[in-house]
Amino acid sequence: MNSIISLRLFLVLGIMVFSLPSLGQQKYQKILELSYENGPMISNGKDWADEIRDLVSYRGADIRLGWRKTSNNFYNKLYRYPTFGIGFSTALPYYPEIGRPQGVYGFGEFPFSNKNLDKKLYLAYFAQLGLGFNLNPYDSLDNPLNQYIGSELNAYIHFGFKANYRLNQDFELFSTIGLKHYSNGATKRPNAGINLAPIAFGVRYNIDKISPEPLRSIDYPELEKRGYWNFALYLGSKNYEVGDPSYFRGGFGVNYLWDASYKYRIGLGLDYFIAPGFESRYPGREGTFSNQSSLAIVGSWEWKLNDRLYMPIGLGAYLHYNSENQESWFYERIGVRYKINEHLFGGLQIKAHKAKADFFEFTIGYTIPGKIQKVVGN
């Protein structure tokens, strides 16, 4: 996928994104943002990483198309009139060591407070998740220095903070600071991951001259607090060493979650993981159930972005693990999930050990809602 094809895809998606909100009865404000960014590449402390860091002075640009609901309703009061959309990011120069990193992504931007929405200066935080490409991966002959990335296609993640200054009804200036990450989730080694810390300056054009409606008292709907049993199947692959084939990785999780608030669920559960291929990776050693499986207890937290989309975050501690499978005593998980109906859901998470990717978990699951235990609100 080259830059021209990617930009065309972005524009087609942008037209689709902008046409969808107009089909409903909700009022939407559509926006266009352009920005320039500059910042350092973060080294992992290795000699080769320090050498690449000194050679790469990152400069890039972003274009984003987005929309936000402007109606004074419960959702907007709860999430402070968020903005959602799609974007395209590109490095401006080509760096022989890492290529010209680019990404197509979806994003969400959330103001810190409802009170500042009508003021000239307001602050927000944002998250971007998508597909990264156009990198120059490791090659033992042509590019042996780049041990950050082993594949041309990668996950693209960018999160941070944003300050907006409103010039008039049409234009706003903004600046962001955050962390940008490219990684393939250990599907192909090496995979230390490219980390950038850019500061961006940009301009925002409000295509629709619609401002958020003035806040007034909103009646909160009833919150039906109940428990949920989540059963999830994890599927993925992992490349353990440079030059070796990738092996299947998978698992199964059972979690019990509770509605803590309108926005969050918390819970506790068990994860079981399998890592076949032990005998191929360690010739002469026997693969057993014990050295190809692991079991963990996991604390779960879910951020409900809307009725169907939510972000699972987990921290697990192994009851049994194997260092041969590149596991340590605890792991982290973060991702996105989509609720297909009352029971079925699908999603993608990344499981990591000490912030180092273990594997991407393509997830499908089944939810069993419990009985309503408590009703909060009107």
What's residue 374's pLDDT?
A: 72
What's residue 22's pLDDT?
A: 45
What's residue 76's pLDDT?
A: 79
Query: What are the average pLDDT values for consecutive 10-residue runs of the chain, which has 378 residues?
Result: 50 48 61 96 90 93 92 79 93 94 94 78 93 93 90 93 93 96 90 93 89 65 86 95 91 95 94 95 92 97 87 96 93 94 95 90 95 72
What's residue 8's pLDDT?
A: 52
Domains of the chain plus CATH, in order, are: 3-206 (2.40.160.20), 223-376 (2.40.160)
What's residue 257's pLDDT?
A: 96
What's residue 378's pLDDT?
A: 54
pLDDT tens profile 282-310: 999 999 999 999 999 999 999 988 778 89
What count of Cα atoms within 13 Å lies in the side-chain half-sphere of residue 12? Answer: 6
What's residue 12's pLDDT?
A: 47
What's residue 26's pLDDT?
A: 54
Inter-residue contact 225 to 373 (CB < 8 Å)? yes
What's residue 31's pLDDT?
A: 94
